[in-house]
Structure 1
Amino acid sequence: MQKILVVEDDQLIQRSLKEALELKDYEVIQAFNVKQTLEIMNSSIDLIIMDIQLPDGNGISLCQHIRENYRTPLLFLTCKNSEQSIVEGLSAGGDDYVCKPFGIQELYARIQSLLRRIPVNQDIIYTADLKIDTKNYQVYKNGQLLDLTNVCYHILLCLIQHHGMVITRQNLLDLVESQTQHFIEDNTLSVHMKRIRQTLGTYHGQSYIETLRGVGYRWGQ
């Protein structure tokens, strides 16, 4: 049974989330503030659902603190719905962001997407009509080897490994620089994304990559 830590100070929302998640056979662990979250947090937790406004602190800072030790998928569930708040949450290490009020079916879908994350050390990854050979840094579409630069490969791999999650532009820049040891400018990232899309083409008439304007990108297949 997968464990979900819900960090929310509103008793009614906590109770509603617990009941809804248990209907889907998730084990729910509850925390009502920052202090409790830090006491409860451990590597056995599969997913975190977190509010930003907490009585003894801020969810953004708490997320940054958690990211120092854990890569557990984290979904912000909050009434703060401005673009700036969304960017701050994702840049702090959040994997997805849902605004209140929310639909429970949408929340279920977001949770399932986060829990489907592909392991980083998987040698062969299949998604849609693509095959990614992570040992040889090669990408195939319907058996045909695609011509991708090293930078484009790492961007693509990051998006695929975090299937369904929003990856901010800054996170992509940081990842590519750490993998390639090459500085990548922000406007250059847009060029690389365009090249990736052109190389991949479409799948059933749809782009593989979804753009969230002002935020980042998400692998949609």
Structure 2
Amino acid sequence: MKKILVVEDDELIQSSLKEALEIKGYQVIQATCVKQTWQYLDDSIDLMIMDIRLPDGNGITLCRQIREQFSMPLLFLTCQNDEDSIVEALNAGGDDYVCKPFGIKELYARIYSLLRRIPMNKDIIYTADLKIDTKQYKVFKNNQELDLGLVTYYILLCLVENHGVVITRNHLLDLVQQQTQHFV
């Protein structure tokens, strides 16, 4: 399950976002200010959605500080729709920018687009009801280890890493061959 940190001080927008994102299967963590954001920031966050105007600071300044330590995708969701604000936010390290009011379908598409670009280089990958341990080459379903061969493991891993991307059989076999050749 992908974890999204939403930094938004408007309670109505925050609760609506939480509900809409949880419907799509995301785990949502909420912060209402800069100080609270730092309490929740760690490497487990897969994506951030952040407003520019926060009660105790500026989202663009916060973005610059976050970029010194973290590389997760960051989407600005704000009412500031002037070109200078958009350019400044993107230059500060933002990956995308959506102006309020916004359409939820567009927001879903932008989130999906940002998340599918995340390199799958984590030691543990969670997808659906599977847990993939890439250090130990193990797959678990409901905390029970699945007995997969190495080739099957890499087929599954390649499919998870390329979620949402059409892969031909030959391309999949090439990817698996690249991964398994150092075991031969």
Map of 2:23 onto structure 1: 23
Q: What is the CA-CA distance between 1:39 and the residue it aligns to?
A: 1.2
Counterparts of 2:48 and 2:105, CA distance in 1: 18
Q: For the residues of structure 1 that align with 2:62 and 2:14, how far apart are their CA atoms?
A: 18
1:78 corresponds to: 78
Cα displacement (A) at 1:119? 2.9
Of all paired residues, the percent bearing the same amino acid is: 74
Question: What is the one-letter code of the residue matched to 1:49?
Answer: I
Superposed CA deviations along residues 166-207 of structure 1, whole A, max 9, x for unmatched, are xxxxxxxxxxxxxxxxxxxxxxxxxxxxxxxxxxxxxxxxxx
AA matched with 2:94: G
Calculate the TM-score normalised by the size of structure 2.
Answer: 0.64
Q: What is the number of residues matched between the two proteins? A: 121
Q: Which residue of 1 aligns with 2:40?
A: 40
* 1:3 matched to 2:7: no
Q: In structure 1, the residue corresponding to 2:102 is in which secondary structure?
A: coil
Q: Which runs of 5+ in 1 are unaligned?
A: 122-221
Taking the TM superposition and a 5 Å limit, the aligned residue runs for 1:1-221 are 1-117=1-117, 119=119
Tell me how far 1:64 sits from its aligned partner. Answer: 0.4
* 3-state SS of paired residue (1:5): strand
Distance 1:110 1:39, change over 3 A: same
Q: What whole-Å deviation, never above 9, does each CA across 1:12-56 have from its counterpart, x for those lacking one? A: 000000000000000000000000001110000000000000000
Measure the CA separation in 2 of the matches of 1:46 and 1:33: 19
Q: Distance in 2 between matches of 1:65 and 1:35?
A: 12
Query: SS of the residue aligned with 2:15?
Result: helix
Structure 1 Cα separation of the partners of residues 63 and 118 of structure 2: 21
Q: After TM superposition, which residue ranges in structure 1, 4 or more long, deviate above 2 angstroms?
A: 118-121
Q: TM-score, normalised to structure 1's length?
A: 0.54
Residues 148-168 of structure 1: per-residue CA shift (max 9 Å, x gap): xxxxxxxxxxxxxxxxxxxxx
| Cα RMSD after superposing both structures | 1.3
Q: Deviations over 1:80-99 (max 9, x none)?
A: 00000000000000000000
3-state SS of paired residue (2:72):
coil
Which secondary structure state, in structure 1, belongs to the residue aligned with residue 109 of structure 2? helix
